[in-house]
Amino acid sequence: MNDENLKPTVERILRGDFKAFKDFVDNHKKLVSFIVFRMVPNSVDREDICQDVFVKVFQNLQNFQFQCKISTWLAKIAYNTCYNYLEKKRIPLFDDETPVSKSFDAIPSAIYSPIDYIEKQEQNVLLHREIDKLKPVYRTIITLYHLNELSYNEIGDIMKLPEGTVKSYLFRARKILKEQLSAKYREEELC
Amino acid sequence: MLSDHLNDDLIQEFLDGNLSVFERQQFEKHVQNCDKCRWRMEEFEELFSELNEQPEIQLSRSFTKKVVKKTRKEFVGSLQFGLMQIFFTLAFIIIAINVLFYYVELDTLKSDVQNTVNATFGFIPKMLSVFQGLLGGITSHTRYALFAAIILLMLLVADRLVFQNKHKNASYSK
């Protein structure tokens, strides 16, 4: 969504138009949910945290001057909200030993033939499992780059990391995923 | 032309679109002639494609409704707080003036103030008597309904004024 097109919506929200805010939430909940669901291991808290993110967005919208893309600003709020949650629960972001979420309840929305659908689902499940095994910081960067389509610079701004570090983590995360997935597929072929 | 095999980082740089035109050409030339590197690049391409196509997360049907409800509560809460601030400020000023007149002998000032108030707001008793005349013909139920409507209108105006004042500094220049 083009930020120029969002300016009238933002103005309406600031005037107290809750219908405009409802549309805004519907258009941006995908972006927020990707970040929250990847960072927060507890499935019970995820949706509440997504709601809190949007409440914070509403509270701070008057301070947003379009100095960056609105998606970057939203991602920053989502990331900071999750970071504070993890700190409260004493779950480190930059650590190997993080509880892995076993309940990533995503339902594929694409439609395939039955066999392809099952194969696609299995691939998705396998990929999710391997992503969940990554360090939280790698998971977050993978999500922000591939799902939220943010640049290295934008990710660095959100996570307060240098661009070089973001790139290095991203490349490392992908390498790990590729190796893990290749090993899994080879295992399945041997069965 | 690249003679050594491509490392994983270079493959990712290529797929992320970070290479210069010359580097891209060199890369593509190598990949055309090297099966091993082409196969590794295809593995990464497939991974990128899977990562980009992650299914949408299904939030509850009432998610947006709950967000709007939560936000409305916060918004109304802050607005009520704003009106309460105005009310208490006015009440404080009125009490302070009354205390001042009670403890300080300011007969001259008092009479001056009274004269000013009568001159400025003297039209109100006249208006009230005209209004009373008009109201004389209306039943008491209608009178109460009319007063309620006037008070509601005043609250709506106050609500608008307070809200506009809160957000008047928002600007949208890039």
- pLDDT, mean over chain A: 82
A10 part of contact set with chain B, CB < 8 Å: yes
Look at B74 and A29 and tell me if their CB atoms are within 8 Å: no
The nearest alpha carbon in chain A to B169 belongs to A62
Question: What amino acid occupies position A166?
Answer: V
Q: Phi, psi (5° rounding) for residue A106? A: -105, 135
- pLDDT, mean over chain B: 77
Q: Which residues of A touch B47 (CB under 8 A)?
A: 174, 177-178, 181
Identify the CA nearest to A132 among candidates A170, A169, A173. Answer: A173
Q: Which residues of B touch A22 (CB under 8 A)?
A: 64, 68
Q: Which of residues 119-178 of A touch B (CB under 8 A)?
A: 123-124, 127, 142, 146-147, 170-171, 174-175, 177-178
pLDDT band at A100 (very low <50, low <70, confident <90, very high): very low
Q: Is B17 left (phi over 0), alpha (psi -120 to 50) or beta?
A: left
Q: Please give the full DSSP string across B61-103, using - where no structure is assigned.
A: TTHHHHHHHHHHHHHHHHHHHHHHHHHHHHHHHHHHHHHHHHH
The closest CB to that of B55, out of A54, A107, A146, belongs to A107
Give the best residue of B63, B67, B68 to mutate against chain A (max A CB count within 10 A).
B67
**CA-based end-to-end distance of chain A:** 46
- Determine the average pLDDT of the residues in A9-28: 90
| Residue B170, helix vs strand vs coil | coil
Look at A18 and B71 and tell me if their CB atoms are within 8 Å: yes
Q: Which residues of B touch A34 (CB under 8 A)?
A: 54, 57
Res B102 pLDDT > 50: yes
Q: For residues B137 and B96, which has the higher predicted lDDT (pLDDT)?
A: B96
Look at B54 and A175 and tell me if their CB atoms are within 8 Å: no
Please report, for chain B, how many H helices and E strands are present, in that order: 7, 0
Instruction: Report the pLDDT value the prediction gives residue B123, as an integer from 0 to 100.
Output: 76
Instruction: Report the pLDDT value the prediction gives residue A173, as an integer from 0 to 100.
Output: 94
Exposure of B102 in the CB half-sphere (CA atoms within 13 A): 6
**What's the pTM?**
0.64
Q: Which residues of B touch A37 (CB under 8 A)?
A: 57
Report the b/e string of A39-49 with b at 16+ CB within 10 A: bbbeeeebbeb
Q: Is A18 exposed, middle or buried (0-12, 13-18, 19+ CB in 10 A)?
A: middle
A58 part of contact set with chain B, CB < 8 Å: yes
- Tens of pLDDT, residue by residue over B27-58, are 999 999 999 999 999 999 999 998 988 777 88
Look at A47 and B60 and tell me if their CB atoms are within 8 Å: yes
Give yes or no for a contact between A133 and A183, defined as CB atoms under 8 angstroms apart: no
Res A65 pLDDT > 60: yes
